[in-house]
Structure 1
């Protein structure tokens, strides 16, 4: 129980630090361009302490949930004093304002990358996309009716070695079996199991496609019926070639840079997919509140993520803990760039709208238009805030009454 509480506290702390650094990203870039930053505070609520250095007040508040960075003149409608006017944010070039507004999300991306790099250099990265890269090639394949027999490395005389004899090597990536593309190792297994005899297999080796012919062997294995996962395993005959695929990729300190970069790209793709699927998964969250089984792919709140972080620490699954922390940073970073107010992406969209509008007006010989009236956008903003608040309430409720749990 103590480990669980520690995990929850550590994950919550990680989130708080991430959000505080998000605001620090805005502050640092704004100061670098010469904008006036009035205040930078970590947390909300009553002030614990504060101090002033230069023109900025720094401080800590009692509720350690996020923070804020107050930049003078974030829009032309913000009130600024005569002394602040020359350093008002809206006076600066569009590209500078864009960098300042995007700096929070960029900070999340950097944090996520750092977490992944540390994972890659110390404990490795999971094969998230199921890449069918060969980890090892067996000396043989043979019947195995029990787990002990399956793990026995001793080969009986005459036992076939399909992959070894065909010239498959560790590091090869199987890209197709019998002409069918195999983007994941599950696809490779699905294509191999029903086959027997000589089968064309394409592998990518050192950037080149190599055509091989593998004599798939039929062996006996205990398997659980997918239609009845709780039933007893049945002995079935299945195709096998004698290879294993990595669940984790190991890297050295230098190679970890490329590994973390590649993994970051994969996580960006998954984050975008989750965002696209977000609306259609909300009904399942509502159903889970009223007793339906919780789909592990449904959205969760910070409360749910912290609970899983606690369970991960309790079970010693530090890889999952760090992976969840990195993915949350990527999600917050991408979500915050959506072109919706009051998100930073909404402010960026308005900034570029003004730029493009004034450019088009100039082409027609007209003077630049005035700044966008944010008061006219307040109704849309309030609707989005209400929808966002409702989603947060739903996910928090579901994470309390019917949380997603780690299954092993």
Structure 2
């Protein structure tokens, strides 16, 4: 049964991956057709074509390798300075430029002169290139908000899940009390598992964030009002200073950073609770911010990935995960010993996270990514406006094809990074905790 569920989870992720790619390319396709650009092909996947069908002037199809997709638009790059579009140079770098330019004019037909991508105004080209990643963002937000507002999100409450018997600095990362460790204030005050803290120092508390802040700000005597067995009781505790995990301005724990603060000594129970629309949007905003920071931090992850793939290094929880790793996680999700609703919610969140990553990654201002074409169109608009202000001749379209040598280097780096992640996903995968 475990193997079948794993295979089913991987298959479901593959379907979700194909849909996400098709959804992304649909954004490019619909806006390109809206602006009158001819699109000969709309393909999901790479490699050999396993199915295709012509509808109108576009061939729609699915290819064998579900690692991406594309639409082919006529005239992605302008002609060369001499007006020619075919490759004609023996220079390797120049050949890259002219090969890209020549490929942009494949299947050119009479009448296409007015339907070329590069002839559209910069703002229209920005929309066409942004529409793909934007579709992934829309899908990610829709799934995130839907799951958070209906199923819910793991949320710490003011209910006591367990009481620490002694005081241990969290930086020590141990659970066993030593004889020299002093008794924890919570244990000394008689706090019990199952108690619900409803007030701290006489002031009501309804959420964990508020209670945690008040505890951290208090050193010395304090009163704790708990709900136990249907009645309220007031416990007296003397909080002490301890080394605890640092929290950021949003109340999230900062990994591997510790600060001195007031300490009581208990664990809060975590429950899955539906969030309001406002709270869901705030949580979604935090996820987007964290995702953007993770994209920027990718280069710094290479040494740890290398150690995890080819050495004895530990695969960290925040390590980058590729398609293979995500598929493995999907297989693990279906094997979790939790209610079916939890499994569905976890799988949907995994798919939403993948779409959010697609959006953020494609927005990098580097060719051959969508963000590179967006940057080229914006630069063209800026330099044309500058020329107009200073009454200079129109510089014409910005020739993005001249950046193709750089694009090949960037693509090579991405391929190497992808292969490194692939090896790490196979030999030392990230697992669901």
Q: Does the aligned pair in 1 maintain the 2:129–2:374 contact within 8 Å?
A: yes
Question: 1: CA distance between counterparts of 2:331 and 2:410?
Answer: 31
1:163 match: secondary structure: strand
Deviation of 1:67 (Å): 2.1
Equivalent residue runs for 1:187-266 within 5 Å:
190-191=216-217, 195-198=219-222, 217-218=237-238, 239-240=263-264, 244=268, 247-251=271-275, 255-256=276-277, 258-266=278-286
1:101 match: secondary structure: helix
1:97 match: secondary structure: helix
Q: Does the aligned pair in 2 maintain the 1:47–1:62 contact within 8 Å?
A: yes
Q: Does the aligned pair in 2 maintain the 1:137–1:163 contact within 8 Å?
A: no
Question: 1: CA distance between counterparts of 2:214 and 2:322?
Answer: 36
Q: Is 2:317 the partner of 1:275?
A: no
Question: 1: CA distance between counterparts of 2:209 and 2:313?
Answer: 41
The CA deviation string for residues 116-159 of structure 1, in whole angstroms up to 9 with x for no partner, is 122123310235xx8xxxx4478xx99659x9x833559xxxxx
Q: What CA RMSD, in Å, does the superposition of the two structures yield over aligned residues?
A: 3.4
Distance verdict in 2 for CA 1:152–1:293, change over 3 Å? closer
Q: Does the aligned pair in 2 maintain the 1:216–1:241 contact within 8 Å?
A: no
Q: Is 2:316 the partner of 1:292?
A: no
Deviation of 1:24 (Å): 0.9
Question: 2: CA distance between counterparts of 1:165 and 1:241?
Answer: 16
Bigger mean CA deviation after superposition, 319-328 or 24-33:
319-328
2:380 paired residue among 350, 354, 379 = 354
Q: Is 2:418 the partner of 1:392?
A: yes
Distance verdict in 2 for CA 1:196–1:322, change over 3 Å? farther
Q: Is 2:202 the partner of 1:166?
A: yes
Question: 2: CA distance between counterparts of 1:243 and 1:217?
Answer: 16
Question: 2: CA distance between counterparts of 1:348 and 1:374?
Answer: 10
2:133 paired residue among 96, 105, 126 = 105
Q: Is 2:399 the partner of 1:363?
A: no
Q: How many pairs are equivalent? A: 347
The CA deviation string for residues 64-101 of structure 1, in whole angstroms up to 9 with x for no partner, is 33322112222324324332221222222221211110
TM-score by length of 2: 0.71
1:332 paired residue among 354, 358, 364 = 358
Distance verdict in 2 for CA 1:338–1:33, change over 3 Å? same
Q: Is 2:178 the partner of 1:150?
A: no
Q: Does the aligned pair in 2 maintain the 1:303–1:396 contact within 8 Å?
A: yes
Alignment-derived partner of residue 174 in structure 2: none
Distance verdict in 2 for CA 1:270–1:74, change over 3 Å? same
Distance verdict in 2 for CA 1:331–1:64, change over 3 Å? closer
Distance verdict in 2 for CA 1:4–1:311, change over 3 Å? same
Q: Does the aligned pair in 2 maintain the 1:39–1:58 contact within 8 Å?
A: yes
TM-score by length of 1: 0.75
Alignment-derived partner of residue 33 in structure 1: 35
Question: 2: CA distance between counterparts of 1:395 and 1:320?
Answer: 22
Runs of 4+ in structure 1 displaced over 6 angstroms? none
1:389 match: secondary structure: helix
Equivalent residue runs for 1:177-196 within 5 Å:
185=212, 190-191=216-217, 195-196=219-220
Alignment-derived partner of residue 178 in structure 2: none
Alignment-derived partner of residue 309 in structure 1: 330
Question: 1: CA distance between counterparts of 2:154 and 2:122?
Answer: 40
Distance verdict in 2 for CA 1:259–1:191, change over 3 Å? closer
Q: Does the aligned pair in 1 maintain the 2:222–2:238 contact within 8 Å?
A: no
Alignment-derived partner of residue 157 in structure 1: none
Distance verdict in 2 for CA 1:309–1:172, change over 3 Å? closer
Question: 2: CA distance between counterparts of 1:14 and 1:188?
Answer: 44
Deviation of 1:16 (Å): 1.9
Bigger mean CA deviation after superposition, 310-319 or 10-19:
310-319
Alignment-derived partner of residue 398 in structure 2: 372
Q: Does the aligned pair in 1 maintain the 2:187–2:265 contact within 8 Å?
A: no
**Structure 1 unaligned residues grouped into runs of 5+:** 155-160, 176-184, 200-213, 227-237
Q: Is 2:50 the partner of 1:48?
A: yes
Distance verdict in 2 for CA 1:115–1:162, change over 3 Å? closer
**Structure 2 unaligned residues grouped into runs of 5+:** 80-103, 164-184, 224-233, 246-261
Deviation of 1:171 (Å): 4.9
Q: Does the aligned pair in 1 maintain the 2:186–2:265 contact within 8 Å?
A: no
The CA deviation string for residues 305-332 of structure 1, in whole angstroms up to 9 with x for no partner, is 2112211221145243322221221111
